Amino acid sequence: MRIGELAQRTGVSVRSLRYYETQGLLVSERTAGGQREYAERAVDRVILIQELFAAGLHSRKIAQLLPCMRDPDGGPNERATPELVTELTAERERIDRMIADLATSRAVLDDVIATAAREL
Ramachandran category for residue 6: left, alpha or beta (phi over 0 → left; psi -120 to 50 → alpha): alpha
String marking each residue 76-95 x if it binds a second copy according to CB under 8 A: x--xx-x-xx--xx-xx--x
Which of a second copy, DNA, none lies near 19, with the C-beta cut-off 5 to 8 A by kind? DNA
Q: How far is the CB of 111 from DNA (least distance, A)?
A: 21
Among the listed residues 41, 58, 79, 92, the single contact to DNA using CB under 7 A = 58
In whole angstroms, give the CA distance from residue 64 to residue 59: 9
Restricting to residues 6-25, name those near a second copy by CB under 8 A: none
